[in-house]
Amino acid sequence: MTPKKTTPIREGKSKILYSTDSPEHVIQFFKDDATAFNALKKGTIKNKGFINNKVSSALFQYLENHGVKTHFVHYLSEREMLCKKLEIIPVEVVVRNRAAGSICKRLAIQKGQTFEPALIEFFYKSDALGDPLIAESHIYHFKWATPKELEVMITQSIRVNDLLKSVFSEIGLELIDFKLEFGREANSNVLLADEFTADGCRLWDKKTGEPMDKDRFRQDLGGVDEAYLEVSKRLQNYFEASL
Ligand code: UDP
């Protein structure tokens, strides 16, 4: 039986997390709200909640099918997905295949420079501090994760990169960078959590080089709704064709 939604646990910038009548499950509800620059810029993207739930469900299912353990259980309704309840590890893992965004400013690196192998960075998940860049030693010192847990997070992040770089390439998009979050189950297993959507990654159209992700919103490039829809349509066609 599908667990039933009970009360909201917390509301984030793009999702609301609900508890359920099952102690092992939560429900992620995807909102249309869009924020950038630590919520200094706010707006909405048409049907974003619906699109992101579809995209994240399809990608998490694909990752699960290819050996990445995630919190995804199943798609529930247009804006809701059923997930395993986790204790979120307060470390964001960013994987970069090319330079874009914060690294360009921080280290004066030319936008578009390739990283081979992919560059991995860690950020402390704290809205109050603006998610600062951290070193591995901070993670151990403050006991945010153990070395063993971090090893799983890094291995899984590299695996996600390998798998999704190929998927996006097949639909004419280059995966530039992305952010992942992880959490632990009651039995201490570390699973991929949160979401994988155009909100949390950069995708450049392989033909035109145009961004097809939240940078359109961040930089007021226009065509934001259309880009989210286009990515979702291309993914849907790809997954339907590969069934
Ligand atoms: N990212 C995210 N949430 C954050 C910070 C970053 O989803 O709180 C994603 C972002 O969309 C990009 C990647 O992580 O795909 C790297 O982001 P970056 O450090 O360049 O920061 P940004 O320029 O996005 O602020």
Ligand 1 centroid vs 1 CA: distance in angstroms? Answer: 37
Examine the fold and report which residue of 31, 53, 84 is the final residue of a domain before the chain moves on: 84
Residues 105 and 182 in one domain: yes
Ligand 1 centroid vs 171 CA: distance in angstroms? Answer: 22
Specify the pLDDT at position 58: 98
Residues 95 and 140 in one domain: yes
**Any idea which residue has 């990445």 for tokens?**
68
CA dist 20 and 137 (Å) reads: 36
Residue 187 resides in a domain: yes
Specify the pLDDT at position 243: 72
Residue 144 resides in a domain: yes
Rg (CA), the chain: 17
Please, what is the average pLDDT of the chain?
A: 97
CA dist 47 and 229 (Å) reads: 8
Task: Check if 202 has its Cβ closer than 6 Å to any atom of ligand 1.
Answer: yes
Instruction: Tally the domains of the chain.
Output: 2
Range of the domain at 23: 5-84
Task: Check if 177 has its Cβ closer than 6 Å to any atom of ligand 1.
Answer: yes
Determine the 3-state secondary structure of 54 from DSSP: helix
Residue 229 resides in a domain: no
Specify the pLDDT at position 1: 83
Q: pLDDT tens, 169-218?
A: 999 999 999 999 999 999 999 999 999 999 999 999 999 999 999 999 99
Q: pLDDT tens, 11-41?
A: 999 999 999 999 999 999 999 999 999 999 9
Ligand 1 centroid vs 75 CA: distance in angstroms? Answer: 25
Mean pLDDT across 227-236: 98
Q: Tell me, what CATH number does 98's domain have?
A: 3.30.470.20
Atom of ligand 1 nearest to the CA of 202: 15
Specify the pLDDT at position 88: 97
Tell which residue, 69, 87, 82, has the closest CA to residue 1. Answer: 82
The gap from C-alpha 212 to its chain's centroid, in whole angstroms, comes to 15
85 near 73, Cβ under 8 Å? no
CA dist 21 and 185 (Å) reads: 17
